[in-house]
Amino acid sequence: MAEMPRKLTVSGLVSLLQEVVESNFVAVTVEGEISNFAAPASGHWYFTLKDSGAQLRGVMFRNRNRLLDEPPQNGTQVVCSGTVTVYAARGEMQLVVDSLAQGGQGQLQASFEALKEKLSSEGLFAVERKRSLPVFPQSVGIVTSATGAAIHDILNVLRRRAPDVRLMLRPVKVQGEGAAAEIAAAIEALNQYGGLDVLIVGRGGGSLEDLWAFNEEVVARAIAESVAPVISAVGHETDFTIADFVADLRAPTPSAAAELVAKNRQDLEAHLDHLIIRLHSRIDQSLSLVAERISGLEGRLKLAVRDFTALPDDVADLEKRLSLAMRAKMRQYVDRLGMTAGRLDALSPLLQLDRGYVIASHEQGGSGLVSAEDLKPGDHLWLRFARGQAHTRVEEVD
């Protein structure tokens, strides 16, 4: 190997490293867990091979992986054989895999499943223990990195949708050694501070190893013991962490968590706007209806005034017509009375008296007698003449 010069270019240093690595690791067999697996259209497989202490990028080209029945899944323990190279374009060491044998579930995945089963049996995932978010949160606690993209996404959403909400950030490490303990301590500290309506606990996306702090038992128990409702906002949409199962609500990203916090307020504002629009519409309809009714009443009132103005003339006309009708009726009655009187005169017995007849009766003014059989000698009679009366006694009856 050539003697190393005092000053190197980046390309020169990477070339030296490549020479050292590729000349000493011509063929290696490595066991580890698959994560970040990707199979683009080129047909090559790209993944990370890792264990609890380190990780290494790996690639298996199409002419090699086509010999396998199916691609490995994230979390699968595998044994890879191949060569170690240095990818000069990025200065990264990678394992070029010639053969791959699946060896069961990975250590991290096994730990995840074991903790999940343990906490589930304790009831920490139960639906009935999950709490609803407050309708109008006024203060929100945030547990995340102060320099990551997550806090910027949360702030942007809340400033736009709920600018009056008070925010309290508790910055923590979100990956690496000690991250889980910091996250759990931050959740406890915010609850001790009090006055917070909801907590957002999370980070941006990453690999399974990057997100592992949110799969630790200490974080899960801190979320379960939180007085304020907790939204888990770890930036991954397809996979779940233990924190997602324990939290009162899961958001696929930190931005989505902020939108959930501000959602109720926006819904209320939209509902109020809708009610105001409906109220204005109802008022306009009512006013239009009242205006139509007033217009109708005004028309009727004008007709009534016109009729009232013409009332004296109508009364005079009616009086005249009534007088004429009464006169006509009186003439009819007089004519009918004359005719009836004439008929009565023609039938009156008094008319016969003028011809020399008399009316005989037992009593003065009584009914006239029509037969001598009603008399006997000595009876007293009253005789009515056309003019005057006479009292007499019967001497003989024939």
Q: What is the CATH number of the domain that holds 201?
A: 3.40.50.960
Domain limit, last residue, from 234, 265, 296: 265
Residues 370-382 pLDDT 10s: 777 888 888 888 8
Predicted confidence (pLDDT) at residue 306 exceeds the cutoff of 80: no
Q: What's the mean pLDDT in 118-126?
A: 93
* Same domain assignment for residues 140 and 260: yes
Where is pLDDT greater, at 123 or 355? 123
Q: What is the pLDDT of residue 187?
A: 96
Sequence length of the chain is 398
* Same domain assignment for residues 14 and 62: yes
Where is pLDDT greater, at 326 or 352? 326
Q: What is the pLDDT of residue 219?
A: 96
Residues 222-275 pLDDT 10s: 999 999 999 999 976 666 899 999 999 999 889 999 988 887 566 666 778 888
Predicted confidence (pLDDT) at residue 181 exceeds the cutoff of 60: yes
Confirm whether 184 is domain-assigned.
yes
* Same domain assignment for residues 138 and 239: yes
* Same domain assignment for residues 146 and 222: yes
Residues 34-54 pLDDT 10s: 999 999 999 999 999 988 788
Q: What is the pLDDT of residue 348?
A: 66
Domain limit, last residue, from 217, 250, 265: 265
Confirm whether 369 is domain-assigned.
yes
For the record, the structure tokens of 83 come out as 């060569």
25 touches 84 (CB < 8 A): yes
- CATH number of residue 55's parent domain: 2.40.50.140
* Same domain assignment for residues 158 and 228: yes
Number of domains the chain contains: 3
* Same domain assignment for residues 26 and 92: yes
Q: What is the pLDDT of residue 355?
A: 67
Confirm whether 24 is domain-assigned.
yes
Q: In the block, which residue shows the tokens 């990818």? A: 87
126 touches 231 (CB < 8 A): no
* Same domain assignment for residues 138 and 91: no
* Same domain assignment for residues 149 and 249: yes
Confirm whether 125 is domain-assigned.
no
Confirm whether 281 is domain-assigned.
no
What integer best gives the mean pLDDT of the chain?
A: 85
SS (H, E, C) the chain: CCCCCCCCCHHHHHHHHHHHHHHHCCCEEEEEEEEEEECCCCCCEEEEEECCCCEEEEEECHHHHCCCCCCCCCCEEEEEEEEEEEECCCCEEEEEEEEEEEEEECHHHHHHHHHHHHHHHCCCCCHHHCCCCCCCCCEEEEEECCCCHHHHHHHHHHHHHCCCCEEEEEECCCCCCCHHHHHHHHHHHHHHHCCCCEEEEEECCCCCCCCHHHHCHHHHHHHHCCCCCEEEEECCCCCCCHHHHHCCEECCCHHHHHHHHHHHHHHHHHHHHHHHHHHHHHHHHHHHHHHHHHHHHHHHHHHHHHHHHCHHHHHHHHHHHHHHHHHHHHHHHHHHHHHHHHHHHHHCCHHHHCCCCCEEECCCCCCCCCCHHHCCCCCEEEEECCCCEEEEECCCCC
Range of the domain at 261: 134-265
Q: What is the spatial distance between Cα 250 and Cα 242, in angstroms, rounded to a whole number?
A: 11
Domain limit, last residue, from 237, 265, 293: 265
Confirm whether 54 is domain-assigned.
yes
